[in-house]
A and B are shown apart, each in its own frame.
Chain A
Amino acid sequence: MPEVKVLTRHFGAPGVTGLEGYRRVGGYRGLEKALRVGPEAVAAEVKASGLRGRGGAAFPTATKWSFLPQGVFPRYLCVNADESEPGCFKDRVLLEEMPHQLIEGAMIAAFALQVSHAFIYIRGEYRRQRELLERAVREAYSAHLCGPSVLGGEWGCELIVHGGAGAYICGEETALLDSLEGRRGQPRLKPPFPAVKGLYGQPTVVNNVETLSNLPYIVVEGGAAYAALGTEGSPGSRLFCVSGHVQSPGTFEVAMGKTTFRELIELAGGVRPGHHFKAMQPGGGSMQILGPQHLDLALDFKAVSDAGSSLGAGALVVMDETTCLVDVSMRLVDFYRHESCGKCVPCREGTYFESELMHRLEAGLATEAELGTLPDVCRAMDGRCFCPLGDTATWFVMSAYRMFPEEFHSHCGAGACPVRSALGAAA
């Protein structure tokens, strides 16, 4: 069975969205234990767990924490709940099903790092999720699980829910910090990294919702137990969001490194009946396409990276034979064009150009010569943008063009989308 349950093991338990119900399933025992064993011991467990960030970059969490300079206070923790990567909805599920698991994880991290303020930056579109979270935070305050004296001890930490207002780029950690400080959400130049100079110019850790939601388990059961769920290179479990042309889209928690794409797709009911698999996009809208030849790859950081893509933020979009990859590319580059913050030229102009071209191509109006400019434009963007948004705006479209060149070429001068025309003729 590829499914394992760490994050999701208490999903649906009676009242588990509230404090009482969460306590009934052992909630906040991790925070209690953390306060008992001390910050160093907590950090050691996280190191032993091998936990890597679930926000997209997969950076080892314990290593990130260790970059905070000794003895510099105040320090801050920012919980990244901006979830806006196309295809991703796992943080939303974690917020809806177990807000207290996230709060406990955030407070464990806050204690390990000895921060005085923790902020949860939640995207503006998650209005209902924000209301649920705020209710849970109020409960946590009443029970002294956060606030000036946590569980009656000397250490205290404020926990503040901060709502965004519609900007994908604010998920990027330095843009998030600018937004939290009350500015336009534009990325900062790194270094200095947030660990050294982050929120309000102070040492800051930014961690994703799912990353932190793992901490109660890691502290209670031990880092080694968590690591053993997965493999050496890909420890632990992970919540994947499967969407697109599958029978039962949803989130599925599976062992890392031991589960294949095929098994994950089967958990989602497989490709819809009467159709067959064409391609998939792992990781979210930013990542490169994979084909049928990759279905038996394990959900393993290295295996997927060797195949030219990435597990990114834990999404998997499945496409069957009815899918036009020019249409999919068009939707993605439209998204990046809309979300480019406008700060740097290659991203601002490049996404505009990509989008205009893909619209003409999808309509069957572009010429071969126009299509021929796509690789040049993408080369001028990838690696030359101020932040990864502009780089990643080229990855899917270029990888799809390389894997399915004839599909792109067949659109040139066709007067309409040939994939759609063929479907219409077959129907």
Chain B
Amino acid sequence: MADSGPGAAEAPPLGRETLARIRRSKQLYPWASSAILPSLWAVQEELGYLTPAALLAVAEELGLEPSEVEAVATFYSMYFRHRAGEHLIQVCRNVSCGLRGADELLRHLERALGVEDGGTTEDGAFTLEGTVECLGACGGAPMMQVDRISYENLDAAAADAVLEQVRSGAPRGRRSRARA
């Protein structure tokens, strides 16, 4: 890339393990482009979100145009282009959850975390999102996912208990994020 003179010894955008995952995906599919989604997951699990440099690196590894990778990164709602909180809380407010108290659950979380829907707590620990698809747990409504793990049949006390468990760092969360 542009000026990578000897002094510019920048850290490579992706770690070795992520690169290995990307290369394995490339082998797995008849077309290299099929490896874009799995590669972006690998990147996001390492960095927490998709940096521009990482997107370029993925394109180069897969032998694709950067625009092809960019097009995918911007389409899917679970890929983040910005750093979010350490933990992502998603509250389903679709019909089955709405019928069983999802709005109250969201309001409780807004109060408990001191943020509005879409916001991130000041300490960067939590991002709260209340506009998501039905998360396939309608039988356990109301529900939320924290880092893509479902917690169901939630009242205020149960939701607080989940937040506590996540805060205490029980071995359920995502890996902590490296600096980009």
Chain A interface residues toward B at CB < 8 A: 74, 83-89, 91-92, 117, 123-128, 160, 162-168, 179-185, 200, 241-245, 249-251, 281, 285, 315, 317, 319, 323, 327-328, 331-332, 334-335, 338-339
Contacts and interface: CB of A to CB of B under 8 A. Distances in A.
Contacts of B41: 124, 163, 165
B108 to A, nearest CB: 18
B99 A245 contact: yes
B94 A285 contact: yes
B160 to A, nearest CB: 22
A243 B160 CA distance: 24
B37 A162 contact: yes
Interface stretch (B4-12, B70-78, B114-122, B162-170): B70-78
Contacts of A334: 131
Given A182-B31, A185-B76, A244-B99, 16 more contacts: A86-B96, A86-B138, A87-B95, A89-B137, A91-B136, A124-B148, A125-B133, A127-B149, A167-B77, A182-B35, A244-B100, A245-B99, A327-B98, A332-B94, A335-B133, A338-B133
B17 to A, nearest CB: 17
B95 A317 contact: yes
Given A182-B37, A249-B140, A281-B95, A124 B133 contact: no
A167 B37 contact: no
A167 B72 CA distance: 11
23 contacts: A85-B134, A86-B95, A89-B137, A89-B139, A128-B148, A128-B149, A128-B150, A160-B28, A162-B37, A163-B38, A164-B76, A165-B78, A166-B77, A182-B33, A182-B35, A182-B36, A182-B37, A184-B72, A243-B139, A251-B139, A331-B95, A332-B95, A335-B133
B149 A285 contact: no
B69 to A, nearest CB: 9
B176 interface: no
A328 B95 CA distance: 6
Given A126-B136, A244-B95, A285-B134, A181 B150 contact: no
Nearest to A182: B33
Contact of A89 (B75, B77, B136): B136
B171 interface: no
A9 to B, nearest CB: 20
Given A124-B76, A127-B149, A243-B138, A162 B133 contact: no
B29 A160 contact: yes
A89 B94 CA distance: 13
Contacts of A335: 94, 133-134
Contacts of B40: 165
B60 interface: no
Contacts of A317: 95-96, 99, 138
A3 to B, nearest CB: 16
A372 to B, nearest CB: 25
Given A163-B41, A183-B71, A285-B94, A92 B136 contact: yes
B96 A244 contact: yes
B138 A200 contact: no
Contacts of B51: none
B139 A241 contact: yes
Interface string B14-32: 0000000000000011111
B68 A182 contact: yes
Contacts of B68: 182-183
Contacts of B135: 125
A88 B133 contact: no
Contacts of A315: 138
B152 to A, nearest CB: 10
A185 B73 CA distance: 11
B33 A339 contact: no
A393 to B, nearest CB: 14
A89 B96 CA distance: 11
B136 A184 contact: no
B48 to A, nearest CB: 15
Most B Cβ at <10 Å: residue of A86, A168, A181: A86
